[in-house]
Amino acid sequence: MTESLDNTPPAIEVQNLSYKFQDGSNGLEDVLLSLPPNSRTLLIGANGAGKTTLLRLVSGKRLAPNNTISIGGKDPFKDSLEGVTYLGVEWVLNAIVRTDIDVPTLLASVGGNAYPERRDELVDILDIDLRWRMHAVSDGERRRVQLAMGLLRPWKILLLDEITVDLDLLSRSNFLSFLKRETESRPCTIVYATHILDNLAQWPTHLVHMHLGKVKSWGPVEQFYDQAADWTSENSRLGELVLKWLKEDLDARGPRNGRGNQAKTYDAGGIGGYGLETYTKKA
Ligand SMILES: Nc1ncnc2c1ncn2[C@@H]1O[C@H](COP(=O)(O)OP(=O)(O)OP(=O)(O)O)[C@@H](O)[C@H]1O
């Protein structure tokens, strides 16, 4: 049965969520989260921390144990919720956006004509040329069309699994501003897993820090920024916080393949400066 989230505040509640993959390995361990309606959450963690696993479970694409995930009071897997949009790798790889097809046809195929104002706004914000043919566009242009397709229907929950890597800085900034306006103007909630923190410091309302399938810390962003009050700018504050988390996580995880030298961290001279020239090995 497909249910709609129309009359429910889009809160995401996760309780005692543990998940094992088919091969028996641990995916998630005892995850607890409570993300309020209209929040914008950044999901932070090193490669392999469990971000995609969590997003796929929350989206209802994978079956989670009973009573562990609730979206607006409903189970996203059992109720196959309408209004939950998950944009991740499978969606990015969809072959249709590489065929010789024009943009208006593509947008119409995902319901664009039912939401003409949203369609036109997205075309504008993502700077899409309606004359493009999809087999002959750049990766970033293709991604912009895909984003317009993915965001067209007015979702209530948006789960983004790093899908902005191909966007130039201005397109990404416009896209993130659009998402922020959405959460400020209608009942909807966003969780965004990303490694790219440029110009993101003002964006999130909440942070979730994952490591080895566990949520190490989560909460309103102010809580974390308070801990980092002495950092100079907003951007370096978020960047430095995440760099600190990832270094701690690497230390906690320990060496791979039984070799000590692979788990060392390198001081890049501060994230704000992108000090690639000043790498110094730490013990
Ligand atoms: N189907 C699977 N079976 C077994 N292990 C898996 C499976 N899918 C993922 N994993 C493992 O689960 C862990 C978490 O993977 P996941 O894709 O959730 O990480 P992530 O935080 O999204 O990483 P990234 O930042 O690289 O996208 C990884 O160690 C991965 O190897």
Pocket test residue of 17, 25, 209 for ligand 1, highest count of atoms within 8 A of CB: 25
Residues with CB under 6 A from ligand 1: 21, 23, 25, 27, 45, 47-53
The stretch 166-173 carries a mean pLDDT of 86
- CA-nearest of 108, 91, 79 to 55 is 91
User: Are 199 and 173 a contacting pair, CB within 8 Å?
Assistant: yes
Give, for 52, the enclosing helix (H) or strand (E).
helix 51-59
Domain boundaries, the chain: 92-150
C-alpha 282: how far from chain center: 31
Residue that is written with structure tokens 């969520």 in the block: 17
CA 114 – CA 123 distance, rounded (Å): 15
Burial grade of 173 (CB within 10 A; 0-12, 13-18, 19 or more): middle
Q: How far is the CA of 112 from the centre of ligand 1 (A)?
A: 34
Give, for 85, the enclosing helix (H) or strand (E).
strand 84-87
For residue 89, the tally of other CB atoms under 10 A from its CB is: 10
pLDDT for residue 170: 86
Atom 19 of ligand 1, residue of closest alpha carbon: 48
Q: How far is the CA of 72 from the centre of ligand 1 (A)?
A: 27
Cα first-last separation, the chain: 56
pLDDT for residue 265: 54
Q: How far is the CA of 170 from the centre of ligand 1 (A)?
A: 30
Q: How far is the CA of 41 from the centre of ligand 1 (A)?
A: 20
pTM higher than 0.90 for the full model? no
CA 107 – CA 139 distance, rounded (Å): 18
Answer whether residue 149 shows pLDDT above 60.
yes
CA 268 – CA 275 distance, rounded (Å): 5
Residue 60 corresponds to which tokens in the numbers above? 């209802």
Give, for 34, the enclosing helix (H) or strand (E).
strand 26-35
Torsion (CA) 87, 126, 151, 164 in degrees, nearest 10: 20
- CA-nearest of 132, 174, 170, 131 to 151 is 174
Q: How far is the CA of 110 from the centre of ligand 1 (A)?
A: 30
Q: Which positions ≥6 away from 121 have C-beta within 8 Å?
A: 178
Pocket test residue of 18, 53, 164 for ligand 1, highest count of atoms within 8 A of CB: 53
Residue 210 alpha carbon, nearest atom of ligand 1: 21
Residue 162 alpha carbon, nearest atom of ligand 1: 27
Identify the weakest region by mean pLDDT among 46-60, 81-95, 209-223: 81-95
Q: How far is the CA of 100 from the centre of ligand 1 (A)?
A: 33
Sheet-wide strand order for 206-211: 84-87, 157-161, 189-193, 40-44, 206-211, 214-220
CA 154 – CA 151 distance, rounded (Å): 7
Average pLDDT of the chain is 84
Residue 55 alpha carbon, nearest atom of ligand 1: 18
Residue 49 alpha carbon, nearest atom of ligand 1: 21
pLDDT for residue 70: 92
User: Are 204 and 42 a contacting pair, CB within 8 Å?
Assistant: yes
pLDDT for residue 171: 85
Q: How far is the CA of 52 from the centre of ligand 1 (A)?
A: 7
For residues 160 and 235, the model is more confident at 160
Q: Which positions ≥6 away from 249 have C-beta within 8 Å?
A: 45, 46, 49, 211, 212, 216
Atom 24 of ligand 1, residue of closest alpha carbon: 47
Residue 165 banded pLDDT, cuts 50, 70, 90: confident
Atom 2 of ligand 1, residue of closest alpha carbon: 21
Atom 16 of ligand 1, residue of closest alpha carbon: 50
